[in-house]
A and B are shown apart, each in its own frame.
Chain A
């Protein structure tokens, strides 16, 4: 397809891959840890953008897929000693299945109702898991340290997790790009603009929305699996933390929704700003206040986000920065 011949596509992947290699080459573990976290945010933001930016459906509870992937994978690793990559993939498919089943029902809802329903889903799953003993209930599950022996020790496992997260980030970005530039993506954006008019033009919105939702659930789920594999411990609270979904939304808005590079830029800027605020003496207590103020300023004055604004102003940017 045409996108594969598009130079911006390969350029973007190259840039991300190069940035991801830096901490490995430099042998700097703390830098690698930061990068690990940023890559995860990039994945969360990009997948939120796939459903929200392209179709206009705001998934407030998108983090439910992160938690679902995490729990399914953790359980498989813990109970059956599956390799983390395999477990993660199954986690991904489990989350996609959840999205598919729920999506058919909730995507019929419009606007605010959909947003609320996704919150309800996350909270329902979280409170269910908190009560479900086979998954550890409210205490969660944790790895025996010997679990990492299969990966030549915890340190090496951390490195493997990093590679996995980097590869996943590249896959997510590639998927986002391919969708956006495809006929499917055009249909999604048509739905976003006017669902009823789209139907008259021959688009079947229900089917396309469900497919998109299903795809958008896959990547955060695997990210969750990798994250909790490395963490060695999974609990319902952190796995289904609603705040993280909202952070992903903020990142998408900050960078520019409906674009491929927007969520990436948003994730990086948000994460850097946040860690600066937390470690700074004057600001650390106020990081939430400042983040909130930032969000409000963007929403009020630059709703297209950084990348979105650049694309609107400079036609040259539009060609290279998707």
Chain B
């Protein structure tokens, strides 16, 4: 077996894993704070992808410079989504919030299909590559990992060092008690949803720099996000990051041994096993 191929795969999988982790972090954060599984997660990723596409192709902006715009779009979309679809039913049984977020999925996917059709799109991004012996590392991958790590660190700083972040953690822990201490929990929930959406969109942007995509790619990635989130522990952002890395590695390394088409089978079997054997995930479920 080719050692270099193994190393190349491992490195690639690791880097991709960081981006996957970022992608899943938004989903797990939302669950941790308000116990809602956001079935609209996929379209949010897709919005990120198409936003960077439109801005770089139609406005000629360097894809990486669109990051601030994506952050703003993400926050706003998430907040609006929360207040329109979830605010009224946030205390209802799980099925209600599942269907509410799913309805948003349907609406966004439908709208995007009308605007962009389902044809595959791609960004033309090259950042050169680094060579280590016979192992090549693409510049785009490196950039993606760097941005993913920076965003993750920023998120942690926000959650643990700022007042807003602390109120989010308070609400996640015990909403009633937080309200008694004067925290406007509805705004906190809206903000949390906004952050979750933002993370999804940023990951979409990063993925768009690496792969081609369609309006439906988001939904496929949503399923992958579920796997990662459960693996890492529902509600646990660090777990999501590590879960993403595990999935990234799993995907890259197993393709050396089995045909690519078997990889999803493997992933879903792992998914079901985790749910049955250790539903709290490898790193433990958390209320943020």
Contact = CB atoms under 8 A, between A and B. Distances in A.
B230 to A, nearest CB: 6
Contacts of B271: 116, 120, 124
A249 to B, nearest CB: 7
Given A123-B223, A249-B99, A289-B111, A128 B265 contact: yes
Contact of B275 (A109, A111, A138): A109
A289 B114 CA distance: 10
A246 interface: yes
A10 B223 CA distance: 43
B64 interface: no
A116 B104 contact: no
Contact of A131 (B96, B226, B265): B265
A48 to B, nearest CB: 12
Given A127-B264, A131-B262, A253-B99, A116 B106 contact: no
B105 A292 contact: yes
Nearest to A138: B261
Contact of A289 (B110, B223, B264): B110
A51 B27 CA distance: 27
A56 B259 CA distance: 39
B264 A292 contact: no
Contact of B269 (A52, A124, A293, A295): A124
Contacts of A287: 110
B9 interface: no
Given A116-B37, A124-B265, A296-B85, A303 B275 contact: no
Contacts of A127: 261-262, 264-265, 268
Contact of A291 (B85, B106, B276): B106
Contacts of A18: none
A130 B261 contact: yes
B134 interface: no
B261 A246 contact: no
Nearest to A284: B114
Contacts of B92: 303
B94 to A, nearest CB: 5
B279 A303 contact: no
Given A121-B272, A123-B264, A292 B107 contact: yes
Contacts of B264: 123, 127
Interface string B189-225: 0000000000000000000000000000000000100
A299 interface: yes
Interface in B77-112: 84-85, 88-89, 92-96, 98-100, 102-107, 109-111
A292 B223 contact: no
A299 B84 CA distance: 12
Interface string A253-297: 100000000000000000000000000000001111111111110
Given A253-B99, A288-B107, A292-B103, A113 B279 contact: yes
A286 B35 CA distance: 31
Nearest to B285: A113
B96 A113 contact: no
A124 B261 contact: no
Contact of B226 (A116, A130, A253): A116
A295 B275 contact: no
B129 to A, nearest CB: 32
Contacts of B234: 112-113
Given A128-B265, A131-B261, A289-B110, A58 B276 contact: no
Contacts, number: 124
B102 to A, nearest CB: 6
A210 interface: no
Contacts of B109: 288
A246 B100 contact: no
A13 interface: no
Contact of B103 (A109, A131, A138, A293): A293
A113 B268 CA distance: 14
Nearest to A127: B264
B45 to A, nearest CB: 17
B174 interface: no
A286 B230 CA distance: 33
A154 interface: no
A322 to B, nearest CB: 21
Contacts of B93: 56
B268 A250 contact: no
A166 B113 CA distance: 35
Nearest to A246: B102
A124 B272 contact: yes
Of B106, B226, B227, B264, the most chain A CB neighbours within 10 A belong to B106
Contacts of A295: 99, 102-103, 106
Interface in A119-170: 119-121, 123-124, 127-128, 130-131, 138
A98 interface: no
Smallest CB-CB A-B distances: 5 pairs: A292-B106, A288-B110, A124-B268, A289-B110, A292-B107
28 contacts: A56-B95, A58-B95, A105-B276, A112-B35, A115-B98, A116-B230, A116-B271, A117-B272, A117-B276, A120-B268, A124-B269, A127-B265, A285-B113, A286-B110, A286-B114, A287-B110, A289-B107, A292-B110, A293-B107, A294-B103, A296-B84, A299-B89, A299-B103, A300-B85, A300-B89, A300-B100, A303-B89, A303-B96
Given A127-B268, A253-B95, 5 more contacts: A56-B93, A112-B234, A123-B268, A127-B262, A293-B107
